[in-house]
C-alpha cells in the first residue's frame, strides 16, 4: 500500500515536472 502511494506521488511529480 505504501509503495503504491509513493509510486503515485513519483508519477505525479514527473508529470508536473514535464508540465512546468
Question: What is the pTM (predicted TM-score) of this model?
Answer: 0.29
**Burial (0-12, 13-18, 19+ Cβ within 10 Å), 15:** exposed
Q: What is the rounded CA–CA span in Å between residue 5 and residue 9?
A: 6
Q: What is the rounded CA–CA span in Å between residue 11 and residue 6?
A: 9
Q: What is the rounded CA–CA span in Å between residue 7 and residue 20?
A: 20
Average pLDDT rounded to a whole number, residues 3-18: 87
Cα dihedral sign, 8-12-13-18: positive
- In this prediction, residue 13 carries a pLDDT of 92
Average pLDDT rounded to a whole number, residues 5-20: 86
Q: Greater confidence, 20 or 6?
A: 6
- In this prediction, residue 1 carries a pLDDT of 56
Amino acid at each position: 500500500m505504501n509503495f503504491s502511494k509513493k509510486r503515485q506521488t513519483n508519477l505525479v511529480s514527473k508529470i508536473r515536472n514535464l508540465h512546468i
